[in-house]
Amino acid sequence: MKFRSLSYFMREAATGLLRNRLMSFASIVTVMSCMLVVSFSYCLAENVAYFLEQMESSLNLSVYLRDDVPPENLTPLSSEISSIPHVKTVIYVSSEDALKKFREELGDDQGLLDGIPEDKNPLPRSFNVALDDIKNRDSVVTELEGLKKDGIEEIKYDEQIINLIISINNAIRIVSVLIILALIIVSVVIIMNTIKITVNTRRMEIQIMKYIGATDWFIRWPFIIEGMLIGFIGAAIPVALCWFGYNGVVARIFERFKALERLVEFKSAPEIFVILAPAALALGIFIGSAGSVSSLRRHLKA
Amino acid sequence: MIHMNDVTKIYGNNAKGVTRVSLDIEKGDFAFIVGSSGSGKSTLIRLMLKEIEPSHGDIIINDVVLKSLTRKSVPYFRRRMGVVFQDFRLLPSKTVYENVAFAMQTVQAAHRDIRRNVPAVLAMVGLQKKAKAYPNQLSGGEQQSVSLARAIVNKPALLLADEPTGNLDPETAWEIMTLLEDINELGTTTVVATHAKEIVDRMKKRVITIQNGMIARDIEKGGYSDEI
């Protein structure tokens, strides 16, 4: 493409957009609604995945110790556990800590524990072991089993909850990918139709250009740019709306369900949009140019 | 300039376009192709533009063998010829100036050349004062003049006109033909397909008569209905 043609292509593309104002507007709106749903499903899927991740990481392994382990062995044992691959943190929980936590959990019923004398705490000491990813649980457990001779009595985890979380997470990812794919196909078809109409209203122009000796690419570029503009505007507006609306919606949800605030945390807007914004814009531009190229094919033969 | 050797074109529905046409038109010549509608005039023009392919035979234009031309090089081949049609084919949304400049933009000419050449061609066809007008503000003759200006602005070696005066009254038609003659005198080989009998008779140019897709007569300085 020669540089001096670029301004010509841009002008022609803008003229095309403005000349078929209604069609351009209609297709921008359609792409917008598709991209709005795409952005929304992406935000939703990301946050659900994020919630599950938070739940997963709170599902730590509890490693209970035998009562006969001398206190001076605790530190070496702790660092041994830390050195197991995929172990993120190891926190020591003394019998007293365990009792205190138990009391808290009992709340109003903690009077039940009043009969227990201070020096006869029945709760065992333990390590609270957090993993980098819950999927690595089995390998860590195997390693921990190997440490039983050093004083580990029992390893506890809630297998059912963990498996449920993993499968929910996978299901949501698959569903959101399917929704997004379907909407992309819908958008391409709609843009193809719009550009087809633009091309049709300008077929005489294309015919004349061919008689004069315009190359195929020279004829194509204005239409491609027009499609790109439709795709870009159609993606930029919903992404901007989602971006500005995001924090407001999160605040609303917390306002409505106060209990959630202590349980979960939403992904921050920059975290989501650093991926969503460029991906959506690139997608819009791609959809637009793909629609243009395919609707021009018939007109450029011979 | 134009060399056709035993050219036959059969359309898909078995309708014959032209049959075994051989002709030579030299550089700088002016030739009429005459015949009634459906005789094959337009088929000849479309063959020369490589808009359609001959079913048989060879066409050489501007030293280019048309059948060996790749799809990609067709645009560059067409840049060396100008075309004019009966229905003008101007772009209604562009001014006279823009319509002519469009031909130069299409071949990616420099802005400087566009600013210099477009007014010059418009002056040649007598429309320098209408540069800012839109096609629907012009008479038929003026529109065809714009179309002529567009055809020659890139200085083609060959000008093809398919029924250029078909939509014009006789007086305007004569003006357009005179313009075509002027263009030819500046060195552009000119081929005009027409059935405007009076004009052809008056011009005393070479006349190639097509009947039922075959060359019936080919006469230097002839008339429309000259006998063999």
Given an 8 Å threshold on Cβ–Cβ distance, is B107 in contact with A4?
no
Q: Sorting pLDDT into bands at 50, 70 and 90, what band is B228? A: very low
Rounded Cα gap, residues B191 and B27, in angstroms: 11
Rounded Cα gap, residues B120 and B104, in angstroms: 13
User: How many domains does one find in chain B?
Assistant: 2
- What is this model's ipTM? 0.82
Residue-wise pLDDT for A93-137, tens only, equals 888 888 887 777 676 777 777 777 767 777 888 888 888 777 787
On chain A, the residues whose CB falls within 8 A of the CB of B102 are 208, 212
Around Cβ A96, how many Cβ atoms within 10 Å?
12
B41: three-class secondary structure by DSSP: helix
From A210, A212, A218, residue closest to B103, measured CB to CB: A212
Structural domain of residue B123, as residue ranges?
A: 91-155
Final residue of a structural domain among A107, A142, A157: A157
Which whole number is the average pLDDT over B118-143? 93
From B51, B93, B106, residue closest to A212, measured CB to CB: B106
A214 in contact with chain B, both atoms CB, cutoff 8 A = yes
**Greater pLDDT, B8 or A190:** B8
Given an 8 Å threshold on Cβ–Cβ distance, is A213 in contact with B108?
no
* B165 and B62 co-located in one domain: yes
**Greater pLDDT, B23 or B226:** B23
Which whole number is the average pLDDT over A280-296? 85
Given an 8 Å threshold on Cβ–Cβ distance, is B78 in contact with A218?
no
User: What's the mean per-residue pLDDT of chain A?
Assistant: 82
User: How many domains does one find in chain A?
Assistant: 2
Final residue of a structural domain among A157, A191, A217: A157
Residue B71: partners with Cβ closer than 8 Å, 6 or more residues away = A302
> Is position B85 within any domain?
no
Residue-wise pLDDT for A130-162, tens only, equals 887 777 878 888 888 887 777 888 887 766 777
- What is the percent of chain A with per-residue pLDDT over 70, rounded to a whole number? 94
Q: What integer pLDDT is reported at residue A294 of this predicted model?
A: 81
Query: Taking each helix axis from N to C terminus, what angle separates A203-212 and A216-256, rounded to the nearest 10 degrees?
Result: 140
Q: Sorting pLDDT into bands at 50, 70 and 90, what band is A302? A: very low
* A117 and A212 co-located in one domain: no
Q: Does residue B195 surpass a pLDDT of 60?
A: yes
Q: Sorting pLDDT into bands at 50, 70 and 90, what band is A4? A: low
- B215 has which bridge partners? B210
User: What's the mean per-residue pLDDT of chain B?
Assistant: 90
* B149 and B168 co-located in one domain: no
Chain B nearest-CA distance from A227, in A, is 20
Given an 8 Å threshold on Cβ–Cβ distance, is A4 in contact with B108?
yes
* A29 and A171 co-located in one domain: yes
B78 in contact with chain A, both atoms CB, cutoff 8 A = yes
Given an 8 Å threshold on Cβ–Cβ distance, is A216 in contact with B75?
yes
